[in-house]
C-alpha cells in the first residue's frame, strides 16, 4: 500500500471512534459491493480495472501512438468528469511545462470566446488531433467546441484525413456524439453505462489522453488495481479510504462546513480540481454536505493561509504530501550572503518544502485549531497516482452514503442548463 492516512493533527476529541462506526461502515460497504444503494447502477468503476480487456488497452495504446507519431498537439475536448481526470493525471505526471513532443491543450471546458480563440490560434498552424469526450454526447460546451474543431480538422486534412485525426469517447449506443462518430467513421472508445463522468478517469476517458501524453497507462491501471485490492476491506481498521471518509464525516458532524484539500506541489493543482469535481458534484446535495475547496501550498499560505490560521472556524484541511519528489534542486552557496540564505545553502528545496509542511501543520492544527488530515505517498508515479485516485473514489462513495446521499447523480447541475437553453431559444425549452 503506497498511501498512508494520518490523524496526528486531528485532536483526539475530534477523531472518530472506530467501535461506534464499525457496524455502519460494514453495512455501507455491503451496499456498495452489492450495488444496492442509491445510484447503485453507477458502481461499475468498482471493478472496472479488472474488467477492462487487454485488447482494449492495446487498441488505446495503438491509436495513441499513431497520434504521437503523426501530430504535434492533442486537443482534449470535454468538460467536468469528461475532462478533469485526464488533465489531472497528465499534469501530475508530466508537470506543468512538459517537454514531451506531444503538446496537450483543452477545449470544451468553457464557453469563453477569448479562451476558445486562443486555443484556435495556438493549433491552427500546427498538426493537431482531437479527442472528444462526452458520455451524453449533448453537453453544450463540448458540442460547440467539437463542431469548431471538426470544421478546422476537415478544412486542414480533408474529410478522410479528419477521420484519422479524431477520436471519440462516448456511450456505446446512445447520444449525439455516438451517432456522429459512427456516421463519420471516427475511431471510438466506450464509456461504460455504469460509470459516471467523475469516476471515469479509469476508462478510455482518462486512458486515451493519458496514453497520448506518453504516460504508461499499464502502470496507471496497475495502480487502480492496487486501489481495488487495498481499499476493499469492510473493516474500518483495515481500510484507509474508509478511515478518511469516516474522519471527514465526523468532522462534518462536529460542525465543519468546508474541507480544504491541499498539496505542496503545483503540478497537483488539477488533482485538487478533480477532487472538487468528485466530492462536490457527488455530495453537494440536500443542503447537507461539506464544501470541498482547494489550495496549493506554500503559494496559498500567503493568501488563504491567513484565513485558515485565524478566520472563521468552519474548515478542516486534508493535505496530500509526496515524500520523495521526482526532481530536486539544491540551494546554492553565495559568499556575500546578502539575502541571508547561507544557513540553508547546500540543502535541497524538498527539505525546505517539508519543513514548511511540518511547520504549517503545527501552526494550523495546534495553534489555529484547524484539524488536519494527512495523506502521504512515498513517490508520485503513474502507479501510485492510479491507487490514489481509486482511494478517493472509494472514500467518496462511502462518505456520501454515510451522509445519506446518492453519490452518483447531479440533479443540481441541470438547473442552469434549463435556464440557459431557454434563454438561447433551444427547441423544447
Catalytic residues: 281, 302, 417
Which of 94, 142 has the CB closer to ligand PA5?
142
Shortest distance in whole angstroms from residue 128 CB to ligand PA5: 21
In the region spanning residues 199 to 218, those forming contacts with ligand PA5, defined by CB under 6 A, are: none
48-56, 88-96, 130-138, 389-397 -> range binding ligand PA5 (CB under 6 A): 130-138
Q: In the set 49, 80, 86, 407, which binds ligand PA5 (CB under 6 A)? A: 80
| Binding span for ligand PA5 by CB under 6 A among 75-83, 156-164, 306-314, 353-361 | 75-83
Interface with ligand PA5 in residues 143-202 (CB under 6 A): 196-198
In this structure, the dihedral spanned by the alpha carbons of residues 199, 203, 206 and 210, taken in order and rounded to 10 degrees, is 150
Cβ neighbours for 262, distance < 8 A, ≥ 6 positions apart = 272, 294, 295, 296, 297, 300, 317, 318, 319, 320
Within 360-399, which residues bind ligand PA5 (CB under 6 A)?
none
Nearest to 261 by CA among 270, 246, 8: 270
Instruction: Check binding of 142 to ligand PA5 (CB under 6 A).
Output: yes
What minimum distance in Å lies between the beta carbon of 324 and ligand PA5? Answer: 32
CB of 200 to ligand PA5, least distance (A): 7
Q: Is 140 in the site for ligand PA5 (CB under 6 A)?
A: no
The number of beta carbons lying within 10 Å of the beta carbon of residue 252 is 20
CB of 281 to ligand PA5, least distance (A): 5
Phi–psi pair at 369, nearest 5 degrees: 55, 35
**Interaction between residue 90 and ligand PA5 (CB under 6 A):** no
139 touching ligand PA5, by CB under 6 A? yes
Q: Could you tell me which of 89, 98, 2, 94 has the C-alpha nearest to residue 326?
A: 94
> Is 134 near ligand PA5 (CB under 6 A)?
yes
Chain centre to alpha carbon of residue 181: 26
CA distances (Å), origin 308, targets 254, 270, 371: 17, 21, 10
Which C-beta is closer to ligand PA5: that of 314 or that of 413? 413
Q: Which single residue brings its beta carbon nearest to ligand PA5?
A: 197
| Residue 143 CB, nearest approach to ligand PA5 (Å) | 8
Of 49 and 197, CB closest to ligand PA5 = 197
Cell 475532462, residue located = 83
Helix (H, G, I), strand (E, B) or coil at 350: helix
3-state secondary structure of 260: strand
Closest CA to 229 of 373, 50, 360: 50
Cα gap 289→390, rounded to integer Å? 21
Total Cβ atoms within 10 A of residue 410: 18
* CA neighbor of 150 nearest in space, from 77, 212, 87: 77
> Considering only residues 21, 46, 60, 82, which one is a binding residue for ligand PA5 as defined by CB under 6 A?
82
Segment near ligand PA5 (CB under 6 A); pick from 15-23, 57-65, 129-137, 213-221: 129-137
Of 80 and 386, the one with the shorter C-beta distance to ligand PA5 is 80
Binding mask 274-313 for ligand PA5 (x = CB under 6 A): -------x--------------------------------
CA–CA separation, 294 and 152 (whole Å): 36
Sorted by sequence, the CB contacts under 8 Å of residue 171 that are 6+ apart come out as: 135, 136, 137, 177, 178, 190, 191, 193
Nearest CA to 32 out of 411, 283, 388, 396 is that of 396
Selected from 3, 77, 79, 168, the binder of ligand PA5 by CB under 6 A is 79
User: Closest distance between ligand PA5 and the C-beta of residue 169, in Å?
Assistant: 9
CB nearer to ligand PA5: pick between 136 and 232 = 136
Contact footprint for ligand PA5 (CB under 6 A): 79-82, 134-136, 139, 142, 196-198, 281, 410
Amino acid at each position: 500500500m503506497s498511501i498512508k492516512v494520518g490523524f496526528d493533527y486531528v485532536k483526539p476529541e475530534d477523531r472518530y471512534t472506530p467501535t461506534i462506526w464499525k457496524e455502519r461502515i460494514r453495512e455501507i460497504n455491503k451496499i456498495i459491493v452489492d450495488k444496492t444503494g442509491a445510484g447503485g447502477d453507477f458502481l461499475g468503476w468498482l471493478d472496472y480495472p479488472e474488467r477492462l480487456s487487454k485488447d482494449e488497452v492495446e487498441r488505446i495504446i495503438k491509436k495513441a501512438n499513431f497520434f504521437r507519431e503523426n501530430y504535434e498537439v492533442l486537443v482534449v475536448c470535454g468538460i467536468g468528469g469528461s475532462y478533469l481526470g485526464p488533465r489531472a493525471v497528465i499534469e501530475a505526471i508530466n508537470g506543468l511545462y512538459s517537454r514531451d513532443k506531444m503538446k496537450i491543450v483543452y477545449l470544451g471546458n468553457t464557453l469563453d470566446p477569448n479562451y476558445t480563440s486562443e486555443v484556435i490560434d495556438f493549433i491552427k498552424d500546427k498538426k493537431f488531433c482531437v479527442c472528444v469526450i462526452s458520455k451524453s454526447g449533448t453537453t453544450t460546451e463540448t458540442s460547440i467546441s467539437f463542431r469548431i474543431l471538426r470544421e478546422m480538422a476537415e478544412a486542414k486534412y480533408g474529410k478522410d484525413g479528419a477521420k484519422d485525426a479524431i477520436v471519440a469517447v462516448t456511450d456505446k449506443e446512445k447520444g449525439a456524439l455516438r451517432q456522429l462518430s459512427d456516421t463519420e467513421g471516427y475511431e471510438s472508445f466506450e464509456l461504460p453505462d455504469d460509470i459516471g463522468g467523475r469516476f471515469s478517469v479509469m476508462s478510455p476517458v482518462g486512458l486515451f489522453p493519458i496514453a497520448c501524453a506518453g504516460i504508461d497507462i499499464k502502470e496507471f491501471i496497475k495502480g487502480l488495481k492496487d486501489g481495488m485490492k487495498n481499499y476493499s476491506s469492510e473493516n474500518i481498521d483495515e481500510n484507509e479510504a474508509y478511515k478518511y471518509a469516516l474522519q471527514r464525516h465526523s468532522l462534518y458532524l462536529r460542525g465543519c462546513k468546508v474541507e480544504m484539500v491541499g498539496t505542496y506541489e503545483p503540478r497537483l493543482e488539477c488533482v485538487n480540481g478533480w477532487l472538487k469535481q468528485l466530492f462536490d458534484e457527488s455530495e453537494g446535495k440536500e443542503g447537507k454536505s461539506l464544501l470541498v475547496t482547494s489550495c496549493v501550498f506554500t503559494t496559498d499560505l500567503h493568501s488563504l493561509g491567513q484565513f485558515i490560521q485565524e478566520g472563521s472556524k468552519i474548515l478542516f484541511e486534508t493535505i496530500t504530501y509526496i515524500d520523495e519528489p521526482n526532481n530536486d534542486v539544491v540551494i546554492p552557496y553565495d559568499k556575500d550572503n546578502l539575502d541571508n540564505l547561507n544557513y540553508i545553502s547546500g540543502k535541497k528545496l524538498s527539505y525546505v518544502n517539508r519543513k514548511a509542511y511540518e511547520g504549517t501543520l503545527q501552526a494550523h492544527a495546534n495553534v489555529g485549531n484547524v484539524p488536519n488530515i494527512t495523506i502521504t505517498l512515498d513517490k508520485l508515479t503513474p502507479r501510485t497516482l492510479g491507487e490514489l485516485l481509486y482511494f478517493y473514489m472509494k472514500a467518496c462513495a462511502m462518505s456520501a452514503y454515510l451522509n445519506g446521499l446518492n453519490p452518483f447523480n447531479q440533479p443540481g447541475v441541470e438547473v442552469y442548463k434549463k435556464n440557459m437553453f431557454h434563454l438561447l431559444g433551444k427547441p423544447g425549452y
